[in-house]
Amino acid sequence: MSTILIVDDEQPIRSMVGFALGRAGFELREAADAEQAYAEIDRQRPELILMDWMLPGASGLDIVRRLQRNAETQDIPVIMLTARTEESDKINGFSAGVDDYISKPFSPAELIARIQAVLRRSRNTQPAESLEFAGLALDPLSHRVTANGVELEFGPTEFRLLKFFMQHPDRVYTREQLLDNAWGRNVYVEERTVDVHILRLRKALAPHGCDHYIQTVRGAGYRFSPTA
Amino acid sequence: MSTILIVDDEQPIRSMVGFALGRAGFELREAADAEQAYAEIDRQRPELILMDWMLPGASGLDIVRRLQRNAETQDIPVIMLTARTEESDKINGFSAGVDDYISKPFSPAELIARIQAVLRRSRNTQPAESLEFAGLALDPLSHRVTANGVELEFGPTEFRLLKFFMQHPDRVYTREQLLDNAWGRNVYVEERTVDVHILRLRKALAPHGCDHYIQTVRGAGYRFSPTA
DNA sequence: CCGACCTGTCACGAAACTGACACACTTCTC
DNA sequence: GAGAAGTGTGTCAGTTTCGTGACAGGTCGG
């Protein structure tokens, strides 16, 4: 049973969504503003957040950005609820970590379909279990990496990159694929940037003898393989 | 080679894009408005559409929505050309089936990169299986070759050559065929170069007794046959 | 506003890869 | 057996690819 949090100041919307989700077998919790949202998330981590675009006080995007900065809440998928009248707002939702958008008004069927699509995607890429290979451990939930018991510090990008590698070990990925998976599909950065982050990962891993876990495959890309 | 359709009412833009795409080996067709776009798509299905956001009469998004409703055209990937990064427009576009966005002005390099990324994603890339013959194993996913458990190092060309051989065992290929398949259809290299790479393959395989897997067929070419 | 941190890009040198060539060697033809 | 044709192999320079340090812009908290 998935727990879903809706953050919207309009009570009718919350009711409608609650009704639709209830029929589809989701458990819904509600928040009317940013403060309640933080409180609810803190009380129990939801599996997905439906975030209204306009809220009294803070915009939904502000909340998403703040969630992104927090290691505990960073990987909760978010679906934005937007209204047509706000199209002129300049936003950068996808790069902030928003997984999908739904325009109001929406049908219950569309809502359910999108929620399930996002959940399916995020479950594939976010196993809640800790990943460990030969002394190198990464825990997606606590957002922590340890090598032989010693905690390592990584920036968000390097963390995502290492997480992706550890989720798909022993397989070569091109720079482009790594950009798609650790950066996002809709960002345009130079492929060589991947090299730099690989370097930074290796540098951080080197003191613990784990730098060779990431191998260069000339002409193809990079591979995470702790056994080699 | 891929045929790409650009739908844009500004002739200079079409020319610039045409120039950039021509250099990258794409064939470009042009449409200045919705009517021409439909006509071009109907005449020959393009592999990808570059759609201007603002068009006289209909917006690019309207065209995309209409294409989406038609079974024949709904799976043609679309890249939107937007005047500015109006992210809120992206919201509606992604849900309508737009695959990517490029903000004007854009560089030719970015255009090419995004087109190739979208094309690659939309093409069904079947995961290749691991190939093994008598102790010699090649895994396309991890990009690894092992002989009796020992890992062997190969450059990109030798790897492609060996992969092709192992995908088509027990069959003679001329040097020209090998160049076509392991190098590429439209590259010009001396046929004798194949000999050199065969030599390098054999050299790498020899310490593990696998060098005789590749046989010379005098006057014809080479053959991969582990049993012979 | 400042300073710490994260990020993307660039430039440079090092290393690896590649294709070509020359020559030695084998096989075939007469 | 001689010559011709086809193939094996060592070598080398040009090119490509990668590692790495430096740096500027951005973000965020104070």
Q: B162 near B198, Cβ under 8 Å?
A: no
Give, as one character, the DSSP assignment of residue A84.
Answer: G
Nucleotide in closest CA–C1' contact with B218: D6
Q: Which of A103, A170, A180 sits opposite B91 (nearest CB)?
A: A103
Residue A80 identity (one-letter amino acid): M
Are residue B169 and residue B201 in the same domain, yes or no?
Answer: yes
Phi, psi of B150 (to 5 degrees): -90, 130
Are residue A166 and residue A106 in the same domain, yes or no?
Answer: no
pLDDT, residue A39, reads 79
Are residue B73 and residue B169 in the same domain, yes or no?
Answer: no
pLDDT, residue A97, reads 56
pLDDT, residue A63, reads 79
Phi, psi of A153 (to 5 degrees): -105, 135
Helix (H, G, I), strand (E, B) or coil at B222: strand
Q: Given A125, A145, A178, which residue is the final one in a domain?
A: A125
> Per-residue pLDDT for A126 more than 60?
no
Which pLDDT band, with edges at 50, 70 and 90, does B164 fall under? very high
Which positions ≥6 away from B1 have C-beta within 8 Å? B25, B26, B27
Which positions ≥6 away from A118 have C-beta within 8 Å? A48, A77, A79, A99, A100
Average pLDDT of span A131-153: 88
Alpha carbons B198 and B212: distance in angstroms, whole number:
11
Mean pLDDT of chain B: 83
pLDDT, residue A217, reads 97
Report helix angle B156-167 to B192-205, nearest 10.
80
Q: Nearest-CA residue of chain B relative to A169?
A: B142
Q: B38 near B55, Cβ under 8 Å?
A: no
Average pLDDT of span A12-19: 87
Residue B96 identity (one-letter amino acid): A
Specify the number of domains making up chain B. Answer: 2
Least confident of B112-121, B157-166, B202-211: B112-121
Are residue A108 and residue A135 in the same domain, yes or no?
Answer: no
Decide which of A110 and A222 is more confident: A222
Mean pLDDT of chain A: 81
CATH code (residue A154): 1.10.10.10
CATH code (residue B15): 3.40.50.2300
pLDDT, residue B88, reads 47
Residue B146 identity (one-letter amino acid): T
Which positions ≥6 away from A185 have C-beta within 8 Å? B100
Say yes or no: ipTM exceeds 0.90: no
The listed range with the strongest mean pLDDT (A114-118, A201-205, B65-69, B86-90) is A201-205
A73 lies in which domain range?
3-125
Nucleotides of D under 7 A from a protein CB: 6-11, 17-22, 28-29
Tokens representing B132? 């093994």
How much of chain B, in percent, has pLDDT values that exceed 90? 36
Centroid of chain to Cα A166 = 16
> Per-residue pLDDT for A76 more than 50?
yes
Q: Nearest-CA residue of chain A relative to B115?
A: A188
> Per-residue pLDDT for A160 more than 80?
yes
pLDDT, residue B197, reads 97
How much of chain A, in percent, has pLDDT values that exceed 90? 29
Residue B145 identity (one-letter amino acid): V
Centroid of chain to Cα B61 = 27
Q: Mind listing the pLDDT tens digit for each residue in A85-114? A: 344 333 444 545 566 777 777 777 778 878
Partner residues linked to A27 by β-bridges? A3
Are residue A118 and residue A136 in the same domain, yes or no?
Answer: no
Are residue A115 and residue A150 in the same domain, yes or no?
Answer: no
Are residue B156 and residue B209 in the same domain, yes or no?
Answer: yes
Least confident of A172-176, A208-212, B58-62, B168-172: B58-62
Over A210-227, what HEC string results?
CHHHEEEECCCEEEECCC
Q: Mind listing the pLDDT tens digit for each residue in A196-216? A: 999 999 999 999 999 999 999
A86 contacts B88? CB cut-off 8 A: yes
Q: Given B122, B141, B167, which residue is the final one in a domain?
A: B122
Give, as one character, the DSSP assignment of residue A89.
Answer: S
